[in-house]
Every structure is written in structure tokens, then in C-alpha cells.
Chain A
């Protein structure tokens, strides 16, 4: 009797000891706890998370679009408040959550990379993950800063409120707002670091590359009104990638430029591909009508007029997105933007000829080739700059760039005041309005106690 009990107990004990092995089997083969470099690269290749939700609030607020009274009547009243530049309660499911998801992925990868360590064997993939993570984090920090912080001003940047800079994946770490200076310093530092890690050309334009890093650095410096640095990096970016589409005929154009969806996705101009989040939905193409003066400023022989717009209820809606979908805006970095950055920097630095050469190359590729393109010629840098800024707006509309352009141009006294009309009442956003730093989500303010704009 007793012997049997002992044997049984021993058997059970032995069974228990060997179970640890039995329990080590993975429960779901499609799941991982990210640990290898391949896992980390895969996290950064999650294009839906990483590339398809750049901040869109600021595009809703910019002056390229307006809403008709009947459209306004059909949307929720809170959104029409926002439309007329009034702060309105908004919470989860927004640019903030979308952007910080990217930041989390980037931070998780950077943390795990430290655990893995760089070796002779893994260095190229290790570098690529590191560069990619740094790039993505900077990309979203910059857009959030454009949207939620005041424009960079050397004199006040030290105490103007920037974005929350998170540097780890632990959700128990409290969020605090950095200053604008800290935000831009972090971005620039990370990008310079990333430029050493990434290849010239990416495997796919949804992954960053050296060209993308230089392009983003140029974007950053331009938005900080530092043209010489911007010029330095845009030159490097264009040295890697500089092909423009010919809107007359191009393998990346679907049939003809007048088609509903004229451009192919991932076309040759794209340096780095992202799409804009619909957010409040105010800038959705079917709702948002293009500013009539802006539309009128296109020459009939400018193919962008037929390529970018189509008629809707007596006005025009935008259809020229490089995202190849009538409802999705492309917000990435493309060669045309790089041309315009270089032209603007050159104009600002007094290199009129170089500036005009870039502008003409761009415009010629947009011009109906059945009609002779007359090269634009100007003599002063100021006129060149005005011309370039006008074409910048016309070329890069609905890419999430207009809001920061208004902010930085107003800083130099451009006096742009976006205007809204709701129920016959006019709402105008004066150049110094604090609303240019758009409000943060209210639930974030409530939970974290960080300061609202």
C-alpha cells in the first residue's frame, strides 16, 4: 500500500518536473514577443500603423479648402465649431493616438536593439532597424510639432510648448511636454543619426532611406526658417532621387491625367510614402471644396488643373493624391516637394538663377506639351520667392504642408488669415492667434495633466 503511494507521488512529481518543457511550446504560431531583428524590422514594416495615419487635423484647418453650408449641416455640430477655429472637446481616435502608436513601435525597437547588440554579422540589418525607428519617430514628432506647437522662433523656442517626447516603451512613464527647442533638437539629432544608418534607396518607399532622411531634414529646417541648412540637405536628397513625372505622358499615370485617379501609387516621384489620417473628416475630398481663388490660379494649360481637380456641386474637389485613391491624401515626401524646397532656399539665399531653374523644371513637367512652355524669368530674389511660394501652394496642396507654411510665412509678415463662413458669420484666424497651435485631445489633458495649448 505504502509503496504504491510513494511510487504514485514520485510519478506525479516527475511528471510535474518534465512539464516545464511541455509548456514551452508556443501557443499561437503567428504570434511572437518581438525579440529578433527580423521581428523589429517587421514591426516597422507594418505600413498600416506606420505609414497611413499622419496628422490630418491641420489640413482640415488650412485655407486650401472650405465647406459649403449644406455640407456643414450634414456634419456633427462639434466639427463645425472646430471648422470655425473654436476649440471643441475631442478625445481618443485622433492624430495623437495614431502618431504615438508609431512612436511606441520605434521606441520598442530602439530598446530591443540595445538588448540584441550590434555585431559584425547583424550590423546592416541592425543599422537599418535603428535608422528606420529614428526616422519614423522624428517624422511624426515633426508633424505633431507643426500641428500642436507654435512655429519655431529662436527667441521663444526655449519656453514655447513642444510635443511629448517619449523615449521608451514603458507606459508607466509619465508624459510631459518638451519645449519647441527640445522637440526640434531631438528631431534633428535623431535624423542626423539615422542618415548614417540607412541605405540611399529603400527596398520599398514605405521604408525610409537616406534620401528620405535628407528630405525630412530639409523639411524640418525650412519650417524652422533656416534656409541654408535646408538647402544643404535637400541637395543631398535630390542627388539621390530627382526624377519628375511628365504629366503629359508617363508610365506612372493611369491613362490620361483627367482620370478620376490619375496617378499610380508608389510612382517615381515618391521618396517616402505616407497617407494622411482622416481625423475629423472635414478635409475628406467629397466634403472639402477647393478654395475658388486657388483653383482659378491654375492656367488652363497647366495639367495640374485637370489632374488635381474635378467638379462637384458647382465647386471643385481634389483628386490629385499620389495615394491612388480618391478618398486618401498622400502626405509623404516626393521629389516635387524637394524641388520646391531647393528653389525656395536658393531664392531666400539670393541664388535667383538656381531657384528659377528648379521651378521651371518642375513646371515644365506639369505643362501641356501641345502648348509651348515659356520659361519663367525673374530678376529679383523677392519676386522669385513670391513665385515659388505660389507654385509651392499649387503643387503641394492637400499634403499636410499648408498649415506650417501659413505659420512660418506669417512669422515673416505674410499676413495670411484663413477665413471661414458658418451660418453667414465670418470667422477669421489672425496671424498671431494662439489657435495656430491646435488643441491637444481633451482626454489626454485630463489623464496626464499636461498643459493644453
Chain B
């Protein structure tokens, strides 16, 4: 197996300089490879003036140069170009070539997707993460691994922000839009990636570059307003010996803590139900719709009232409910320990003319609610250089993933729209118990004289009979051709094809509640004969959905790179065309059986009465067909000029066109640009701080990027469908015509200082940026007499401004014996609305911070709450009306909302942290290394959940604060929880929930992860073993909160649901 035969070639050849001829000078030399290497590598040696060329043999060359002085240039694709001036013959020339591979390993290059740049060639703001950074955390999602190690990048965790435009939950440097898309653009191997990020195996990733400012991102044009994340997978390199890599790990997630937040006790819950029952609250349901399901306790109260059971019997049953906590049931039956396994094997290498990288990965997981996932990744990259000027590269990436749904997730058992906390799923002998979600058991048992299917829902059984299977196949193929026209001028063509197909099948078999309920509901009972006719055939129901996503991208690019004396000019210019198609279709099969595979045709057209309610409806047909085809064409250019390695000027420009629906031709093209300059101050002669800071660089950039929302349009857009009752095709306007609509603009200024002390003991970057968004989409109320479908429309009416600071500090605290390094990431960001041309924007209304609430001068995600006036002597929450204490909630909200008065509304601050970052300490002692990452978020607020009595009464949603409520006069001095309000006074709950008594600080410090690794074997020490390196590692994540500012025990990342489970990953990584 051991193929690593690095040979340090030391050839001592004595050459006698020939002085025989007077005119022709013959130079001889030896080319060696830094750190050793393959001797058979051929280098081209070229004399710049005389244009003579030769090739090395066994590292030696011999070249004739007619006139001196001249310059020798030694090249090979895999090596840095060497320039060596010669003016006289001086014995054997000793030249050393530096392999590019080494260069790449030494410094983190930044890949913009269009070119790879060294940090000293960039003016823009970027973060580059290498494999080491990315292996600090475990998990199957590559983006999750950026958390806590990327400056300027924030994750919104646990919070359901409900924004379909922010699927990644990532924001880079805050926001640049109010109503536009919020996701950063993701690039995989130089091309836009719109597939499922989970399909990218983190083990296959070489580098992730995050482009943060306008200068770095504007090359990606109109969709780069939120920043760009460029993911580059591993490649083989020329002249690299074959090397195998192996990585295998297991991640164990603890059972989630359903008890993290207290809930209302079952006793309190049943007391409320009893009170409602006694007050006749359920009577209209019992009399009006006698078939409607009742919660178990109400059922007992009813039976007692009807005299069907004795008082003792009733008390005993209720007692049993009181002692049941539904969380125990979920915890016992539906949650377990999650286990994820990841295995990956790769082989990479390269010779003189080609290189390759082939890998295979397999992931398998069972999550805490027993859902299963499996994924296979296969990857093959090949690069071939038939002649020195031509490079052909090919790549294939294939992913196959399957998943299967698990058990019932917490809080999913309802009874006629109520959520009782005391249901049990099994009796004391473990037999499955029934829940009646829609209809009363006593009713369904007797209706149609027992000719129907069992009409009860069994939580413990049902998930076995109602499962969703997903399957995804994704294939990427790319071909690239680079032709070196002359040195420094390349022309390249790239083509990428991507296809992702997905299939989802939800099969509710004949025993599932879904199928039985459907069959029964559509049963037609003939009262005279007693016969039952099934409109829905007995059997299961299968819902199938197929989707495919296909894209083609073609790119032609010219690269130019020349150096004359102190001038270096480098630029790229290119054009790109892209087409992305989405197809989807869905269908439903009734009377479905797996074995033998059959289904039955049904009548989707006619309406049938529901057996119980008598309402007429036709069968859900579930058919869907859609076909979306987005096309883009772009032209782009990026130029760099460096003078004397001290001064950098850069500029980029790009124009995008797309076939966005309804866009006027003029709006289809949008030019974007950026400029930047850099100055290596420490290279100046007058620089006097060489002893203190031998490296100091200043940069400034400014640029415009854009934000395109593909769903906006200037013409009225209608979508077609067919109306079942008339069977006529119909169209419906979904977007109102607004001819004045433009694309959003986002400008960003970035100022950066980079510095390093001697030996890089302390190094870092400090950046300040300002963002300005103009022409932003904003929703604004309008005279809906004009249309009526919505109360608000979208216009380019808003502007925002953000500014922030990104600081990265690295220090090498100890470097002998135990090495101790510290990295500090510090980020500040604040975005405010500066303009919002609508009456709504002047209004001081409350906002929960879960969505952007544009109020001029306030943060985008602001927390605004009613001023709290305490509880009155009857336990009612009080606010302020005209400056006076009041309980007139309607008037209070009117004052806040319609008169623009802000006295009764308090702006607490922002709902996204103003300050955030992390502290990473790394210790290395011999073969053991330890990294501890502590994250922090400061200065922000959130609403803690508050009791809503109308939810409690109308929907049976309990809340733990019930036990702390105001009960009697005097309690107002002891508690802030309002009294029970049966009559649902309008606005009372909403006032209480959004008053500032429920605002808590979100500031907290969290232990993100601890990573321990141990190198069992290192090649240097054990030459006899095949392994070059064998490393064991353990990573513990989601370790919990170390400190929090609020004393309400709220986890600010998970304010309403249990926090993410802790995980421990154990793994082994080796190369040989």
C-alpha cells in the first residue's frame, strides 16, 4: 500500500563551464523541488530575450544564450513560476521550484468561484476556511460547520422566523434588505448551487470562502446582496504521490429535554376544563354538533352529568388524568437517542500530466424521533494536461439520499382543536390507547350500525402505518478546458450540468387513521337498506410527489496576468449563461395496497356528503404539475493592478439579465460594480514600526450589489388552475401590476486594517463597514378598493442603513512545549430603517422581533412593547392611554397604531444580537490537541412566551404561568401574570403578551463545542507502519448556556421549544 516514495534527490554533478565559444554562452543548471519530490518532473526553462527553450532531464538542463544579460523563466503547471536573471556564467545554477500544492497548504486562498486569489491580492472582505477549520465540528451539513468560526456570519437558531426567503438561517453582516430574499448565495465548485445543501458531504470539502463585502461579492452580481458562500471540493494535484484518506465517525445525540420549559400541570388544566364545563362552555358543541370530539376529562364530566357514571367513578378517572403528563408519554414512546455515522474514503494523487481525486462517502443516521436517513456520495475529479498549454478537467459528483419519517413529534395530539396535556398513549399493560381527534368515540362506534371501519386514532400505532419516504438523487457533471494562449493569458470554457431528482411517497396504509377516516367520512349510508357504499375504496392512500431540478451553466472566461517591472496587471473577463428548470408533479392513489401492488380509481369530480356533518365535498385529488424555467445571462469582469507590491487597485463590474416573469426588458439588465484599493503600509520605506508590527495593510472598498426577488413583477401576473365544481380553467391574479417596480440596490463600504506582529504572535484584522440599502421592497398599506386581494402591496419604498465591525484577533500565547493559541471573533452589527414611505412606518406599534418591522430610526428586527402599568386590583394588566393607566386594550392599541403616539409603546432594542462572536482556545501538546469554542451574543431582547387565556379557553392550550396568575386582591404586588379571564376581553391577551413585562434580555454565553484530537501515529515516528497519520478525535457540541442575562431561564436561541440535544462525536481520521 505504501506508495509514498518521496525521494530527496541530491545530485552532485560537477559541470565544467565551457568557455570555448566567445559568442554563445552555455548555461547549465539543476532544478530541485522544495521539500523533495519526483525527479521525473520536467520543467520548461525559457530564456526571455533570446527565446531559447529547453526542458530539464533528471532535474538538469543545459541552455544556450547568445547575449547577456537575459532572464531564465522556469515553469511547470504544478509549481510557482521562477524568474532568474543571468548576466554572467557563474558555475552550475541551483534553482529551487516551489510546488503550488505547498503554497495552497500554507496560506488560505480565497476562491471567488471565478478565480482563486491569495489574501494579499484581495482588497475585499473575505473569510477563508480550510479543512482544519471545517473539521472542528461534526455533522452532515457543511454550512453548520461555519457556525462559531466565521467572522461576521450569524446563525438564527431554533427560532421559527417563518421566512421562506431565509432557508439557510444564515445572515452575513446583518441585512441589506427588508422584504427581499435573505439567504446568501451558495456556490459549489464555481457554480451557483440551488440543490439541497445536505447533499454536499463535508468530508469532500477543501475550502469554504465567505465573501462579505460588495467588492468581494459583486462579481456574483444581482443575487449577491446577502453575501456569497463559495464551497470548493477537494482536487488532486499534479506531482503529488497517491494518498488515501479515511474518516469515520459516530455522532450520538441525547434525547431532547421535553421538560426544559415548565408546562401547565394536568391538575390545573383539568380544573379549567371543569370550570368551562360547569359554565356551559361545551354545551353548544355537545348539543349543536353532538359528534364533535370532547377531551377525555370533559367526556367524564358529561357522563357524570348524564348520570351514566357514579361520583366515585368520575373522581377516580379524573384522578388518573391528573397524574398523567403527556410529556412522559412522548418521552417514553416517541423520543430516543439519535445516532449518526459518517464514513468517507478518498484517494488523490497526480503525475506530471494528470491528477485525480476520487472519494466515496456513506452516512447513516437515526434521529431523536426515530426518523432515518442514509446518504451515499461518490466523487471523481480528474485533470489532464496533454500539452503544457491545455488543461482539461472533469468532475462528477453523485449523491443518493433516502429518508424515512419517524414517530410523532411533540405537541401533535389534538382533540377537536384542543391540546390536552394529560393524554396517555398506553394503558398500564402497554396496550395502545385511542385518541379521538375529530369525532366522539360514542358517536363513531354506533353510527351506521357498526358497518364502518374503526374510527379512532392510536398514536402508538399510527406512525407505523403512515410513513413518508423520500429519495433524492443528485448528479453534477462538469467539464472545463483551459488554453494557455501565451504565458499569462488563459482562455477557459466551463460547462456544468446539475440534476437533482426527488421522490416523496407518503403511504397511509389501510390501518392508518388517515385512510380509515377518509373511507368512513365518505361512506354513503342508505338509511332504508342500511347498506354502506364506499366512495373512497377501502385500503390505503398513497400520495406521491416527483420533482426534478436541472440546470445548465456555460461560462467563457479570459484571464490575463502580466508583470512588468513593478507593475502587475491581472484581470478576468467572462460571460455566463445559465438555465435552471424545476419540474414537479404529484398524484394520489386511493385503495392502495403495497402487496400486491394495486389501487382503485375514484370519482374526483362529484361531491359527496360527509357521513357525519352532511357537508358536500369532492375527494382531494392531490394532482400537481408545475414547470419553472429561470434563465440568466451575465457578463462580468474583475481587474487588479498592483504597483511595487505595495499599492493595490481593484475593480469589478457585472451585468445580469434574467427572464423574470413580467419584468420589462429594460429591467432585465442590472449593472453592478465595485472598486477597492489596498496599501501595504509596512512595505514603505518610511514605515518605522517594523519591530512592533512588521505587517500592516490598509484597504478600502466600495461597491453595489443587488437583490432580486424572483417573485416580484411589474405586470399583473396570473396563475392558472382548474376549479373542481365547474371544471373550468380559471386564472387568478397573484401579483398586482406595479409598473414602477425596480430591483433593490445595496451599497457597501468596507475599511480594513490587517496587521501582524513579529512571528505572528498577534495578528488579526479589524474591519468597519457601512451598508446602505435603497429602493428596497416594502409592503405598504394602500387603498384596497383598488384590488382587494391583499391589504398591502410591495413597492420600492424603503431604505435601510447598517454598520458594523468585524474583528478577528489571533494570538500565539505559548509556542514551546504546550502550544496555546487564541482566536477572538468579535462582531458588531446594527441595521436600521431609514426610510419607509408609508403611513405605517411612522406608527409605534408593538413588534415581536420575529419579522422585520420597519419603523424609521428603529432596528429592522425591533422589539417594541406596550408600556407595562402593572396589574390592577382585579388582576387585569394595565397599559397607558393618554398617559394614564388604562385597561381599555382596544383604545390602547388604537392609540399606538393609528395616532402614531409612542408614549404607550416602549422600544426595547433589537431582536438580533448587536454584538456576537466567539472565543476559540486551542492547545496542542505533542500529539494531543484541544479546542474549546465559546460563543457569545450580547445586547438583544426577546419576548418570553406569555399565557393567553383565550387560547386556554378556546383551544385548550395550557401555559405554566397559570399557576402564577393573579388570584385575589393583593396578588398584584406579588405577580405580573394577569388573572383568569373567561370572557376573552378583546385585546387583553394580546396586550399582555406584547407588554414589556414579558420582554427579557437575550444576552448569553454558550459553550459551542469542545474538540479533542490525538494523533496516534505520525509517519515521522513510525516508518514501518503504512499510516502517514492516524488521528482519533472527539467533539462535544450543543453543550449549553454558561451565562445568560435573563433570570426567566429562557434559552434565547430556543425561546419556545426545547433546546437542541447535546451531541458527542467520536471518530478516526487517517491518511496513508
Using a CB–CB cutoff of 8 Å, the interface residues on chain A facing chain B are 1, 4-5, 8, 11-12, 15-16, 19-20, 22-34, 39, 42-43, 45-49, 70-71, 73-74, 76-78, 89, 91-93, 96-105, 108, 164, 166, 169-171, 173-175, 203-204, 206, 254-255, 259-261, 264-266, 286, 312-313, 317, 324-327, 443-444, 446-448
Residue contact A326 to B614, C-beta cutoff 8 Å:
yes
5 closest pairs, A vs B, by CB? A260-B614, A101-B788, A92-B791, A171-B786, A42-B731
Find chain B residues with CB under 8 A from A74 CB: 281, 284, 954, 984
Return the contact of A313 from the options B287, B630, B729, B781 (Cβ within 8 A). Answer: B287
Residue contact B573 to A312, C-beta cutoff 8 Å:
no
B562 nearest in chain A by CB position: A1
Given contacts A29-B629, A45-B728, A327-B615, are A286 and B289 in contact (CB under 8 A)?
yes
Give the Cβ gap from B1043 to chain A, nearest Cβ, in Å.
43
Find chain A residues with CB under 8 A from B968 CB: none
Given contacts A29-B627, A45-B729, A108-B716, are A447 and B288 in contact (CB under 8 A)?
no
Given contacts A30-B627, A324-B607, are A171 and B736 in contact (CB under 8 A)?
yes
B560 nearest in chain A by CB position: A5
Interface status of B793 (Cβ within 8 A of chain A): yes
In B57-87, the 8 Å CB interface with A consists of: none
In B594-624, the 8 Å CB interface with A consists of: 607, 609, 613-616
Find chain A residues with CB under 8 A from B491 CB: 4, 8
Residue contact B629 to A25, C-beta cutoff 8 Å:
yes
Find chain A residues with CB under 8 A from B986 CB: 76-78
Q: Known pairs A74-B281, A327-B615; list 20 more (Cβ under 8 Å).
A: A26-B659, A26-B661, A27-B629, A29-B627, A30-B625, A31-B717, A32-B718, A33-B715, A33-B717, A43-B718, A45-B728, A45-B730, A74-B954, A77-B984, A169-B786, A206-B725, A286-B284, A313-B288, A326-B615, A443-B781
Find chain B residues with CB under 8 A from A171 CB: 736, 738, 782-783, 786-787, 793
A172-B479 Cα distance, complex, nearest whole Å: 52
Interface status of B737 (Cβ within 8 A of chain A): yes
A444-B788 Cα distance, complex, nearest whole Å: 11
A23-B985 Cα distance, complex, nearest whole Å: 56
Interface status of B261 (Cβ within 8 A of chain A): no
Given contacts A22-B633, A175-B783, A324-B607, are A76 and B984 in contact (CB under 8 A)?
yes
Interface status of B577 (Cβ within 8 A of chain A): yes
Find chain B residues with CB under 8 A from A204 CB: 726, 728
Give the Cβ gap from A148 to chain B, nearest Cβ, in Å.
12
Interface status of B1026 (Cβ within 8 A of chain A): no
A440 nearest in chain B by CB position: B785
Find chain B residues with CB under 8 A from A31 CB: 661, 717-720
A312-B284 Cα distance, complex, nearest whole Å: 8
Give the Cβ gap from A96 to chain B, nearest Cβ, in Å.
7
A90-B230 Cα distance, complex, nearest whole Å: 50
Residue contact B616 to A22, C-beta cutoff 8 Å:
no
Find chain A residues with CB under 8 A from B890 CB: 77-78, 89
Give the Cβ gap from B100 to chain A, nearest Cβ, in Å.
25
A254-B609 Cα distance, complex, nearest whole Å: 9
Residue contact A77 to B791, C-beta cutoff 8 Å:
no
Residue contact B616 to A34, C-beta cutoff 8 Å:
no
Interface status of B983 (Cβ within 8 A of chain A): yes
Kindly state the interface size class of chain B when it binds its partner.
35 or more
Task: Please indicate which of the listed interface residues B527, B614, B631, B786 has the most CB atoms of chain A within 10 Å of its own CB.
Answer: B786
A259-B625 Cα distance, complex, nearest whole Å: 38
Find chain A residues with CB under 8 A from B733 CB: 34, 43, 104-105, 108
Q: How many A-B residue contacts, CB cutoff 8 Å?
A: 248
A70 nearest in chain B by CB position: B280
Interface status of B686 (Cβ within 8 A of chain A): no
B891 nearest in chain A by CB position: A89
7 contacts between A and B (CB under 8 A): A11-B556, A27-B659, A28-B661, A31-B718, A47-B725, A206-B726, A325-B615
Residue contact B718 to A15, C-beta cutoff 8 Å:
no
A93 nearest in chain B by CB position: B791
Chain B, residues 267-284, CB within 8 Å of chain A (1/0): the string is 000000000000011011
Chief secondary structure at chain B's binding surface: mixed
Residue contact A77 to B985, C-beta cutoff 8 Å:
yes
Interface status of B830 (Cβ within 8 A of chain A): no
Given contacts A23-B658, A312-B287, are A43 and B732 in contact (CB under 8 A)?
yes
Residue contact A46 to B661, C-beta cutoff 8 Å:
no
Return the contact of A29 from the options B607, B628, B729 (Cβ within 8 A). Answer: B628
Find chain B residues with CB under 8 A from A24 CB: 659
Residue contact A16 to B575, C-beta cutoff 8 Å:
yes
Interface status of B159 (Cβ within 8 A of chain A): no
Interface status of B489 (Cβ within 8 A of chain A): yes
Residue contact B657 to A265, C-beta cutoff 8 Å:
no
A44-B648 Cα distance, complex, nearest whole Å: 62
Give the Cβ gap from A167 to chain B, nearest Cβ, in Å.
12
Give the Cβ gap from B200 to chain A, nearest Cβ, in Å.
26
Give the Cβ gap from B726 to chain A, nearest Cβ, in Å.
5
B661 nearest in chain A by CB position: A27
Residue contact A25 to B716, C-beta cutoff 8 Å:
no
B731 nearest in chain A by CB position: A42
Given contacts A16-B635, A39-B731, A47-B730, are A444 and B616 in contact (CB under 8 A)?
no
Interface status of B784 (Cβ within 8 A of chain A): yes
A220-B715 Cα distance, complex, nearest whole Å: 36
A317-B486 Cα distance, complex, nearest whole Å: 89
Given contacts A12-B575, A27-B661, are A326 and B613 in contact (CB under 8 A)?
yes
Residue contact A73 to B983, C-beta cutoff 8 Å:
yes
B787 nearest in chain A by CB position: A104
Find chain A residues with CB under 8 A from B736 CB: 171
Give the Cβ gap from B735 to chain A, nearest Cβ, in Å.
9
Return the contact of B720 from the options A32, A100, A170 (Cβ within 8 A). Answer: A32
A350-B955 Cα distance, complex, nearest whole Å: 58
Interface status of B626 (Cβ within 8 A of chain A): yes
Task: Please indicate which of the listed interface residues B280, B715, B728, B954 has the most CB atoms of chain A within 10 Å of its own CB.
Answer: B728
Residue contact A4 to B485, C-beta cutoff 8 Å:
yes
Interface status of B122 (Cβ within 8 A of chain A): no
Interface status of B662 (Cβ within 8 A of chain A): yes
Residue contact B783 to A447, C-beta cutoff 8 Å:
yes
Residue contact A33 to B662, C-beta cutoff 8 Å:
yes
Interface status of B264 (Cβ within 8 A of chain A): no
Give the Cβ gap from A374 to chain B, nearest Cβ, in Å.
32
Give the Cβ gap from A79 to chain B, nearest Cβ, in Å.
9
Give the Cβ gap from B544 to chain A, nearest Cβ, in Å.
20
Residue contact B659 to A313, C-beta cutoff 8 Å:
no
Given contacts A31-B661, A260-B613, are A47 and B726 in contact (CB under 8 A)?
yes
Given contacts A96-B785, A448-B783, are A49 and B629 in contact (CB under 8 A)?
no
Chain B, residues 644-667, CB within 8 Å of chain A (1/0): the string is 000000000000011111100100
Interface status of B668 (Cβ within 8 A of chain A): yes
In B885-930, the 8 Å CB interface with A consists of: 890, 894, 898
A98-B963 Cα distance, complex, nearest whole Å: 44
Residue contact B635 to A261, C-beta cutoff 8 Å:
no
Given contacts A39-B731, A48-B723, A92-B791, are A169 and B668 in contact (CB under 8 A)?
no
A447-B658 Cα distance, complex, nearest whole Å: 36
Residue contact A70 to B284, C-beta cutoff 8 Å:
yes
Give the Cβ gap from B298 to chain A, nearest Cβ, in Å.
16
A15-B575 Cα distance, complex, nearest whole Å: 8
A81-B836 Cα distance, complex, nearest whole Å: 35
B576 nearest in chain A by CB position: A15
Find chain A residues with CB under 8 A from B563 CB: none
Task: Please indicate which of the listed interface residues B284, B614, B731, B983 has the most CB atoms of chain A within 10 Å of its own CB.
Answer: B731
Interface status of B839 (Cβ within 8 A of chain A): yes
Given contacts A22-B631, A47-B725, A49-B732, are A34 and B716 in contact (CB under 8 A)?
yes
Give the Cβ gap from B718 to chain A, nearest Cβ, in Å.
5
A327-B627 Cα distance, complex, nearest whole Å: 36
Return the contact of B558 from the options A8, A100, A166, A254 (Cβ within 8 A). Answer: A8
Find chain A residues with CB under 8 A from B289 CB: 286
Chain B, residues 696-728, CB within 8 Å of chain A (1/0): the string is 000000000000001000011111110101101
A425-B408 Cα distance, complex, nearest whole Å: 50
